[in-house]
Chains A and B, each alone.
Chain A
Amino acid sequence: MSDTNVGSESTILRLIVGLLYPFMLLFGFYVILNGHYTPGGGFQGGSVLASLFVARYVVYPVEDTDTEVLHAIQRVFLSLILIAPTVLLFTGLVARFPHYRGLYLTTMDVLIGVQVGFGLGVAVLRFAFFQGVGKTWRL
């Protein structure tokens, strides 16, 4: 089997993605943080953050990331997404202090964004590095 990787050893790709990397990070957090009054939000910004993992995979397709750790972080944020409304919204805290409504929405957006980012990133990395076990169906 020939061992060709997507974009391996391409200088142009490496430079361009390296240049774009901080802007992608910035754009992702911009979309997340401004989600409650401009288009965007947790899911969209999280997808942009997930494309960071993808961009890294395109440039450097080596399995050196422990997806278990990323998965654990994703689960922590998933539980925080469930805890935050339980503590803040259902107890009436947000209703009692309407000034902090924006802060609450932004917090939820950040939690959802990070969770989606790690979740999609882990999904893509797991898929990209999946190796079939043993000599199985090869077609």
Chain B
Amino acid sequence: MVEVATILLMGVFAALAIHSNVLRLAIIYLAVFSLLAAFLYLLYAAPELAIAEAVIGSGLVTLLYLAALKRNRVYTIGVVNEQQRDHLSDSYISHVERSKALREIRQFFLLREFEVQIVFVSSALDEALNDPAYDLIVAEDGEGFAAFTDDESYAMLELEMMVQMHGSGSAIRFVRHSEEGVV
């Protein structure tokens, strides 16, 4: 009876771990799953396995996952507006957050399991570009949004390609800049 209940509960936690949208929660569900597995081993008279499962499965592996999750978690997008930087209004913020370009970028990084964080930068564009705190700088000018990046990784190329494939609807341009200035 207890065995069946444990197995069913393990199934529940396995499903929760798979279907959870928040990775941190999924790791915790996996740890609980491991702990239930250890308990099950104990019920089936395998205490040695139970100790190993409890220590490795829910201890070391959970921490390894958390350490893996810790690195490169947050992708910070800085939004610069040269005109409005001194008085950011709520309507401007919601206009940017709801714009198609920002939603597309956010969706792109969410699919790659990033937490996207949008920061409204109150400094000038040149300063913001040299600030290592931002991974991507989005500036709004008369024509729409422009994304400034010096990141040569494949992810950026992929994002650029995705935006190009969507056509003009997204209204975002990509600008490469280097240490010397905008190229």
Contact = CB atoms under 8 A, between A and B. Distances in A.
B76 interface: yes
B47 A39 contact: yes
Interface string B136-159: 000000000000000111110000
Contacts of A43: 52
Given A50-B60, A54-B63, A39 B48 contact: yes
Interface in A28-72: 31, 39-41, 43-44, 47-48, 50-51, 54, 57-58
A40 B153 contact: no
B70 A44 contact: no
Contacts of A6: 63, 66-67, 70
Contacts of B162: none
Contacts of B47: 39-40
Given A2-B74, A5-B70, A6-B67, A41 B155 contact: no
Contacts, number: 77
A40 B76 CA distance: 47
B67 A127 contact: yes
B84 to A, nearest CB: 25
Interface string B40-84: 000000011011100110011001101110101110100000000
B112 interface: yes
A124 interface: yes
Interface string B156-179: 000000000000000000000000
Interface size class of A (residues with CB under 8 A): 20 to 34
A5 B110 CA distance: 22
Given A1-B135, A51-B60, A31 B51 contact: yes
A95 B158 CA distance: 67
Contacts of A120: 56, 60
B120 interface: no
A133 interface: no
Interface of A: 1-2, 4-6, 31, 39-41, 43-44, 47-48, 50-51, 54, 57-58, 120, 124, 127-128, 135-139
27 contacts: A1-B133, A2-B73, A2-B74, A2-B76, A2-B117, A4-B73, A5-B70, A39-B48, A39-B51, A40-B47, A41-B48, A43-B52, A44-B48, A47-B56, A48-B55, A51-B59, A54-B60, A57-B63, A120-B56, A124-B63, A127-B64, A128-B64, A128-B67, A136-B153, A137-B153, A138-B155, A139-B112
